[in-house]
Structure 1
Amino acid sequence: MGSRATIVGSGPNGLAAAVSLARAGYDVRVLEAHSAIGGGVRTAGLTLPGFHHDVGSAVHPAARSSPFFRAFGLSERIDWITPEASYAHPLDGGRAVMAWHDLDRTVDGLGRGGHAYRALIAPLSRRIRELVDFTGDQLLRVPRHPMLVAGFGARMLATGTPAGRATFSPEVEAMLTGVLAHGNTPLPSLAAAASGLFLAAHAHTAEGWSLPRGGAQRIADALVEDLKAHGGTVETGTLVRDLGGLDWGDPGAGDLLLLDTAPRLLLTHPDIPERYARAIRAYRHGSAAAKVDFALDGPVPWTAADVAHAPTVHLGGARAEIESGENAVAAGRVPEHPYVLAVQPSAVDPSRAPEGRHVLWAYIHVPPASTIDPTELVTAQLERFAPGFRRRVMASHAVTAAERARFNPSDVDGDILGGAFTITQAVRRPVLSRTPWRTPIPGVYLASASTPPGPGVTGMPGWRAARQALSDRTGVPVSLDDLFG
């Protein structure tokens, strides 16, 4: 096409947009504020030599089912690990409930609650491609699989309302609540149910809750390799604070600007219409995350031995305790016993630490811009379910919500999901539109998790922004097969 495209942000969505446009013939450059590429999919030595920690996401349930990454061939470009157990949920008394990759094994382990769990999850797991098709786009459209969508809605009511969840055993309640709490939103809620069911359904698909061998950085590296093979470039250490001063070309000549950033960066553009600016100002960001990484001298000493098989572990005990903690965060308080989302990647990937050593990644939810250091709160929950954990710690590295926001301006006040995850904002993300990636500024598009389909390492917001830009330019719909077939 002979035109230029500038992408602000080298997270998976920015790089997905960059790869798509480069393959379409654009001269693409990516501007990244940090000294390293990847945004939410970076791996770095945060503690001691030889220990490799994921800076952002670590386990990627939706990456391998993503239409963009399937077309891109990500599973053929990097080595994925599909663990025996997708996730574990320790309980007091030395017990744990396990979401094994094998659904039958999971159901057997849940005892009397197993039948209800199978009825809830199995239909979604069997039709994961159709579920991804529905959730992977903006929701203002007629779904292609209406019966699946109706079933998904019924399951949201079953898990996202007090009346519905009363049908489950305490063990199933706890396990489901641990997954629903990923949404960092009040519990119970339909929004948390939607995101949690989507994740839980992936636990028993062919790919399970996979993680890249060597760390999340492998995803960014694969995208950048393809970008460079198609003539694109990446400029690190380039922080864009003001779009008014950014030289991104001439929209009249077909040049494009795509933003893998928080929507509020658009407010710095001199040509933004006031009505659109008001909508962007009204877009809400949610609660934050405070994270800590540990270098350990051995494996986590879980009381329930099966937990060692699961890279992802949800800590928080029974349903009522997790809900109380998450609702405290939503009300602006840090609970004494917070829900902890932990990942032990070296349990299945020995390349992540020196021989015999291990890494552990963990975060808690906190109010926006919190300065709470999560280390002791996380350690206390780990000691509760793995006595002796504290003695395993060789070094740790913590990032508060406030520090995260300074490190990555897209994580507004430490919100890592690109905006509060509510039913309203699932539809209005960040504005109510059938084409929310397009802005009213000619040539400028949003390509971040603040646009559909929202958070998660899928590349889909970036692809959909690039597709919108290409279709607007040519007047012809563009498909993944056109670029990657």
Structure 2
Amino acid sequence: MKQYDAIVVGSGPNGFAAAITLQQQGISTLLIEGADSVGGGMRTKELTIPGFKHDVCSAIHPMALASPFFATLPLEQFGLQFTYAPYQAAHPLDNGETAFLHKDIYETAADLGRDGTTYLKLIQPIVNRWKTLALDTMGPLRFPKDPVFLAKFGLNALQPATWIAKRFKTEKAKALWGGMAAHGIQPLSNLTTSAIGIVLSGVGHKYGWPIPVGGSQSIANALATYFRSLGGEIQTDFWLTDTADLPDHKILILDLTPQQILKIKGLDLQESYKKQLKRYRQGMGVFKIDWALSELVPFKDKRCQQAATVHLGNTFEEIARNEKLSHEGKLVDKPFVLFTQQTAFDKTRAPEGKHTGWAYCHVPNGSTVDRTDVIENQLERFAPGFKDTIIARSTINTRQLEEYNPNYIGGDINGGVMDILQLYTRPTWSFTPYRTSNKKVYISSSATPPGGGVHGMCGFHAAKTALQDHFNINVNL
């Protein structure tokens, strides 16, 4: 068997980031993937009927252009194209109002009326200083490049989203804020839940929320083509259960979460380290639906048809209450639903005149209860007649999601809850969490900082650490 300097297990965004970072430095790298195609959470398949292309997991990519790592890659030269919606996000309310995340921060502020100044004060610094902030926050705990600005950001980001919501006076502004913060998949009363809301809003204004033409698979395909152009090799249909099955190698990087790592034989991890992995905590799961639709969703506010993502949860109070109940293991009748409509902006994904819909809601980790009705009721609530547009649907519960991608334990797409205790100390309490107790084995998954999302930063930092440890090579962004 051929020998390699490094083997990377898992072809999600972090697996590719690790493999590319290594191969760029001349480190011969093999990327292995258990499924029959690369991509991890970046796959697109005909889940309903032929001709309708659905994103299996990730769909809209706020962090793709905001990622310091992806920003260094020439992916457009390898086939990747993005398109954009007129509105990055929409949030309709029962009272007839709709809040919008415009690309232009001042349009958003104007739309929020008397809360516009509060919004600008909260989000404008992120737009102005994102590149520095990204380097200081999207990685392990280190002395920051701009400690003063990071401290100012932290004063807001570390707060529960419920605290920030009190700064706004209108239901419209509070709702927009709640929808952004709820992407964190945890109770909005938790510390640090403001961080995700601030970041998603800020990068939306700076870069937009891009939609990959052809589906999220296009990102994976571009990464694969670029990696191979560097001399890297890829092997699919290789489920790793024992390191004895691998070719000879110097280092091993795992784009896997703790429970998957614990199942692999031959890693030679210390018992004390394995105990730490066993204590790692998962977050809520998701129940997801994909639809083939006869037409665009008939939202009451037609402007919602021009939004990349539509947040369906009504008021901040309703979202916060239902997220808390879901976290506590309860099923709710009106869950917070994230809905996307890619074919409104990318005509390559459905037959002419037809459309796709993509949505999920948060559920208790491991729940297998069918949430089809409650999700579709939420669509119908803000888009009467939606159910009449359904041609076909495909559903996936938490167990099926984990079977599809074993990293999604109990349907947890974030790779572990990102609360105050696991925001940076994931998966262990270490200043360099990419290292394991075996000096030749590293972790690059979303179970390491900065956590979930299609940004590749976990993989970059894992590879950076391995390059320093074994090859005396220092790489920076």
Q: TM-score, normalised by structure 2?
A: 0.95
Deviation at 1:155, TM superposition (A): 2.2
Aligned to 1:63: 64
CA distance in 2, matches of 1:179, 1:416: 17
Q: Verify: 1:48 aligned to 2:49, yes or no.
A: yes
Match of 2:295 in 1: 298
1:247-326 paired onto structure 2 within 5 Å = 247-250=246-249, 255-267=250-262, 268-270=264-266, 271-326=268-323
CA RMSD of aligned residues (A): 1.6
Counterpart of 1:236, as a letter, is: T
Q: Deviations over 1:306-348 (max 9, x none)?
A: 1111111110000111011100111001111000011111111
Q: Is 1:95 equivalent to 2:97 in the alignment? A: yes
Distance in 1, Cα, partners of 2:260 & 2:214: 33
Aligned equivalent of 2:221: 221
**Equivalent residue, structure 1, for 2:133:** 131
Listed one character per residue, the Cα deviations across residues 138-176 of structure 1 (whole Å, up to 9, x for unaligned) are 12x2211122212212323666344x4222022111100
Contact 2:424 2:448 survives alignment (8 Å): no
Which amino acid is 2:85 matched to? P
Query: Is the Cα–Cα contact under 8 Å of residues 160 and 188 in structure 2 kept in the other structure?
Result: no
Asked if the contact 1:243/1:266 (under 8 Å) is kept, the reply is no
Name the SS of the counterpart of 1:312 in structure 2.
strand
Q: What residue in structure 1 maps to residue 431 of structure 2?
A: 434
Q: Please say if 1:212 is aligned against 2:207.
A: no
Contact 2:41–2:56, Cα closer than 8 Å, also in 1: yes
1:15–1:224 Cα contact (<8 Å) kept? yes
Residue 36 of structure 2 corresponds to 35
1:391 matches 2:388: yes
Counterpart of 1:25 in 2: which secondary structure?
coil
Q: What per-residue deviation string (whole Å, max 9, x for no partner) do you get for residues 45-94 of structure 1? A: 11111111111111111111211111112355421113221100011133
Q: Give the conservation status (yes or no) of the 8 Å contact 1:161–1:190.
A: no
Once the two structures are overlaid, the 10-residue window that deviates more, 15-24 or 465-474, is: 15-24
Q: Which residue of 1 aligns with 2:232?
A: 232
Match status 1:154 vs 2:155: yes
Contact 1:257 1:443 in 2 (8 A): yes
Q: TM-score, normalised by structure 1?
A: 0.94
Q: Structure 2: how far apart are the matches of 1:470 and 1:147?
A: 30
The 1:172/1:75 distance shift into structure 2, 3 A limit, reads: farther
Give the alignment of 1:188-199 within 5 angstroms: 188-199=189-200
- Superposed CA offset, 1:256-301 (max 9, x none): 2111111233323441111111111111111101110011000000
| Alpha-carbon distance in structure 2 between the residues aligned to 1:59 and 1:39 | 15
Per-residue deviation, residues 392-436 of structure 1 (Å, max 9, x unmatched) = 000000000111111111111111001111011012111121211
Corresponding residue number in structure 2 for 1:144 = 145
Unaligned segments of structure 2, at least 5 residues: none
Determine if contact 2:82/2:210 at 8 Å carries over to the other structure. yes
* Percentage of identical aligned residues: 39
Deviation at 1:95, TM superposition (A): 2.3
Per-residue CA deviation, residues 167-196 of structure 1 (Å, 9 max, x unaligned), is: 202211110000110111111223221122
Residue in 2 that maps onto 1:363 = 360
Return the match for 1:473 from 466, 470, 475: 470
Read off the aligned partner of 2:217 and give its amino acid letter: Q
Which residue, out of 333, 337, 341, partners 1:344?
A: 341
SS at match of 2:362: strand
Q: Does 1:17 align with 2:18?
A: yes
CA contact (8 A) 1:134 1:149 kept: yes
Q: 1 CA distance for matches of 2:282 and 2:190? A: 17
- Aligned equivalents of 2:394 and 2:119: distance in 1? 37
Amino acid at match of 1:226: Y
Is the 1:64–1:74 contact (alpha carbons within 8 Å) kept by the matching residues of 2?
no
Counterpart selection for 1:379 from 370, 376, 381: 376
C-alpha distance 4-403 of structure 1, shift in aligned 2 (>3 A):
same
In the other structure, the counterpart of 1:483 is none
Q: Which amino acid aligns with 2:74?
A: G
Structure 1 equivalent of residue 185 of structure 2: 184
What corresponds to 1:354 in structure 2?
A: 351
Q: Distance in 2 between matches of 1:179 and 1:42?
A: 24
Higher alpha-carbon deviation: 445-454 or 110-119: 110-119
- Secondary structure of 1:127's partner? helix
Aligned equivalents of 2:394, 2:41: Cα separation in 1: 17
Stretches of structure 1 that go unaligned for 5 or more consecutive residues are: 481-485
CA 1:449–1:157 in 2, change beyond 3 Å: closer, same or farther? closer
Alpha-carbon spacing, 1:415–1:248, altered in 2? closer, same or farther (3 Å): farther
Within 1, Cα distance between the matches of 2:123 and 2:12? 31
